[in-house]
Amino acid sequence: MSFSSFFIQSIKRDFQIAAIQKHEFILPVLFFILVIVLFPITVGPDGTMLSRLASAVGWIALILSMLIALPRMFAEDFENGWLEQVFLSGVPHSLIVLSRIVSFWLLYCLPLVFCSFLLVPFMSMEVGLWSVLVQTLLLGSILTACLGAVASALLVASRKGGGVMALLLIPLLVPSLIFAGAAMDAAQQSLPYTAPITILAALAVFSLTIAPLATAQALKLNMG
């Protein structure tokens, strides 16, 4: 089997599994919406305040629902032995991991980015600003998926690791949050915002290059 056909098949498999287990795929999205709803309720229905907070809320909701989704990234394949079989099959390990990252991003991150449209009615965000937020969220969710792949691979065999995920993921996400915040800030003042978004894209490409290697190492370590 050639590498590209393996890549496509593995992604197809993840989609089929997600189609069977719909609840797992829906839960992070529901969580995302719930976090967004929390803010108007706690802050109060004041429109100007909410629209200032909107982009930050979108990012926080994305990270929190990623923390819900990420522990499942490798857990099932690890437990039922599929991962070990594939690792023995001679396909490069980082390719296996990369296909999982891509399918995870398509299945879990992309719906969240679409759902962030709810910020427009709920937090009275401008549609123009939302389109900038979507750009940062698209790139940022690639980064989150990559770093989260490493974290969830490290924790895949540990029973007590639930709370540790946040501690591993959030400090590493700080740079992307800063650049996303800078882009949103610039867009709010109608200044050019291409520079921070380009840096964000560079960070995403960098992590997409490094993360599969580190993730494969971490998975191999857990297989013993």
Partner 1 sequence: MFKWLHPYAKPEKAYQLSLAFQRFFMPLAICGLIVGCIWGLVFAPTDYQQSDSARIMYIHVPAAIWSMGVYMSMGIAGFCALVWQIKLLEISVLAMAPIGAAFTAIALFTGSLWGKPMWGTWWVWDARLTSELILLFLYMGVFALFQSFDDKRTGAKAACILAVIGMINVPIIHYSVEWWNTLHQGASITKLDKPSIAPSMLWPLLINIVSVLCLFIAFTCYRFATELLRAESHRKWVLEILGK
Report how far Cα 23 is from the mean position of its chain's Cα atoms.
18
Residue placing its CB nearer to partner 1 in the complex, 106 or 182 = 182
Task: Give CA–CA dist 220/224, Å, rounded.
Answer: 7
115 Cβ neighbours under 8 A, 6+ residues apart: 29, 32, 33
Task: Give CA–CA dist 75/165, Å, rounded.
Answer: 13
For residue 41, the number of C-alpha atoms closer than 13 Å in the C-beta half-sphere is 6
Task: Give CA–CA dist 143/101, Å, rounded.
Answer: 10
Closest CA to 144 of 155, 156, 134, 152: 152
Question: Least Å distance between CB 83 and partner 1?
Answer: 16
Closest CA to 219 of 87, 31, 51: 87
Residue placing its CB nearer to partner 1 in the complex, 63 or 154 = 154
Residue placing its CB nearer to partner 1 in the complex, 115 or 133 = 133
Question: Least Å distance between CB 50 and partner 1?
Answer: 22
DSSP-based three-state secondary structure for 193: coil
Question: Least Å distance between CB 224 and partner 1?
Answer: 7
Question: Least Å distance between CB 221 and partner 1?
Answer: 5
Question: Least Å distance between CB 108 and partner 1?
Answer: 22
- Residues of this chain that bind partner 1 (CB under 8 A): 150, 154-155, 157-161, 163-164, 167-168, 170-172, 174-175, 178-179, 181-182, 185, 203, 210, 214, 217-218, 221-222, 224
**Environment class of 13 (CB within 10 Å of its CB; exposed 0-12, middle 13-18, buried 19+):** middle
The token pair at 37 is: 């709803």
Question: Least Å distance between CB 182 and partner 1?
Answer: 6
